Amino acid sequence: MNFCWVTLPVNNLETSLSFYHGILGLPINSNFSEHGMEMVMLGEANQPKIELICSQDNQEYTKHSDITVGIAVDSMETTIEFLKNNQISIIRGPVSPAPNTCFLFINDPDGYEVQLVEMKK
């Protein structure tokens, strides 16, 4: 078995796309509308994706607790500077539980935690 994607119900698709695509740089892999829902798949080809799903009738979603999305970054130092420049608050970290791993947490527009992790080689 291979992991394919995680689905995040969001309240405003454009706001979430601005965060995941515009700020974090995840490429839009596909998008479609079906049965009153708009869906966008984000991520590199042949890699696991994040699916953002939003009701077209403006139905509000309740955040699912304890969901964290992990995204790899090249440099924690550069990432921290980028977050500061974009007025994105770090909610926890950075933490380095092992010599080759460092991570921190931010929130997306719907309150989901996003863990940004640098894995040093």
Q: How many CA atoms lie within 13 A of 54 on its CB side?
A: 17
Residues 51 and 83 in one domain: no
pLDDT more than 90, % of the chain = 67
In a domain, 51, yes or no: yes
Question: In terms of domains, do 97 and 120 share one?
Answer: yes
Provide mean pLDDT across the span 59-78.
Answer: 81
The confidence score (pLDDT) of residue 118 equals: 94
Can you give the pTM of this predicted structure? 0.82
How far apart, in Å, are the Cα atoms of 57 and each of 2, 10, 54, 67?
A: 33, 13, 9, 24
Residues 6+ apart with CB under 8 A from 26: 20, 42, 43, 50, 71
Same domain, 73 and 119: yes
The yes-or-no verdict on residue 65 having pLDDT over 80 is no
- Shared-domain flag, residues 27 and 49: yes
Q: Considering the domain boundaries, does residue 62 fall inside one?
A: no
pLDDT at 62: 63
Check the CA dihedral 38-64-115-44 and report its sign: negative
Average pLDDT score, the chain: 90
One domain for residues 1 and 36 = yes
Does one domain contain both 71 and 47? Answer: no
The count of domains in the chain is 2
Residues 51 and 97 in one domain: no
- Residue 57 is predicted with a pLDDT of 75
Residue 76 backbone dihedrals phi, psi, to 5 degrees: -65, -40
pLDDT in tens, 10-60: 989 999 999 999 999 999 999 988 888 899 999 999 999 999 999 877 666
Q: What is the CATH number of the domain that holds 106?
A: 3.10.180.10
How high is the pLDDT of residue 2?
A: 77
Whether residues 115 and 74 share a domain: the answer is yes
Say if residue 86 is in the same domain as residue 119: yes
User: Does residue 91 register a pLDDT over 70?
Assistant: yes
